[in-house]
Amino acid sequence: MPKITTYDFIESNTRKTILLMALFPLTLAALVYLSLLFISFIKVSDKSIQSYNLSTFAVANEIAIYIIPIISILAILWVLISYYAGQSFILSTTGAIELTKQNAPELVRIVENIAIAAGLPMPKVYSINDEGLNAFATGRDPNHSYVVLTKGIISHLEKSELEGVIAHEMAHIGNRDIRLMLIMVVCISFATVVAEILLHMAMMARRSGNSKNNNAIQILLFVLAIVLYVYGYLLAPLIKLAVSRAREYQADATAALITRNPQALIGALQKISGNSMVKNLRDKETMSPMCIANPLAKNKQNSFFAKIAGLFATHPPIENRIKALQTMDLSR
């Protein structure tokens, strides 16, 4: 069996990114059309509405002409804007602050050394003010990349362990995992954000009156919101499945090769596994695959949506990752 190289991962991630960018608006449009068919079926079946003498498909097509182009254009714009500004959105939502040679000289020097060893441009370094032990990388390419570390992981890990974590994140940057994860996060967040907006609009329409037109608007908004929630929370694991679990093993292995010290990363993973929750990320389930370990609160990890997502988890269990590192041979 041929060995999978870093270049294979980069090529694979590039293909997956393009596929996700193309399929996201198309899949969303298909789901919206199915919801319109459901609404149209109800209208056509209602004998009290004499104006609907058309077939279910004709009614759905009539509505879809106006709705689907708008949703598709918004989805495409969301992906394009997020591709170039998504990392800024992620950094702001996590409350991360930039670290420089002025306010964190030793840490920045460590990141510089790891970047040189990995043969990658120096990423910008950010920190989240949280005592949990976690880290992630984001950005659209190695030239526009960011490594984010919690205050807890910076203060609680030994220098060699911290180097292992940073090397792990640099591996994600080098393999272009960050671009793929960025697109995945923004696609899912688009669906859930729009779903919440539509649900609020449906509630407002309900309070404004009970006319036939108003009821029809309520049903349309409510069904569209449910479809988008289903897309964001139930179909999201399928999107996550596109990001193979092998990416974490590959990043761990690459980190061990960069630092020549797999034991340091093993020690870091052992410490991280016991305290990986990050308060600023506890309500951001879509961002959890970006982190080196699950940042969600225990009750979130046991939630219905989290359990479903776990069936398609992109992170293998930490104990399995440790076992893989223990078997690494750095002599070649």
Q: Give tens-digit pLDDT for 121-138.
A: 999 999 999 999 999 999
Residues that are catalytic:
169
Which pLDDT tens digit goes with each residue over 238-250?
666 656 566 788 8
CB 99 within 8 A of CB 148: no
53 or 26: which leads in pLDDT: 26
Beta strands in 43-178 (DSSP E): 97-99, 124-128, 135-141, 144-150
Task: Indicate the pLDDT class of residue 271, thresholds 50, 70 and 90.
Answer: very high
- Contact at 8 Å (CB) between 248 and 321? yes
Tokens at residue 323, please?
């076992």
Separation in Å, CA 332 to CA 174, 257, 303, 328 = 21, 10, 44, 10
Question: Cβ atoms within 10 A of the Cβ of 16, count?
Answer: 20
Mean pLDDT of the chain: 80
Are 144 and 173 in contact, with CB atoms under 8 Å apart?
no
Neighbours of 233 (CB within 10 A): 21
Cα–Cα distance between 64 and 59 in angstroms, integer? 9
Say which residue, 299 or 275, is predicted with more confidence.
275
Token pair recorded at residue 298 = 């225990």
Q: What is the pLDDT of residues 177-229, one digit of tens each?
A: 888 788 777 777 777 888 888 888 878 777 766 665 567 677 778 888 888 88
Supply the pLDDT for residue 236: 64
The reported pLDDT for the residue numbered 53 is 59
Is residue 147 helix, strand or coil? strand
Judge whether 188 and 232 are in contact, CB under 8 Å: yes
CA 30 to chain centre: 22
The tally of CA atoms less than 13 A away on the side-chain side of residue 78 is 23
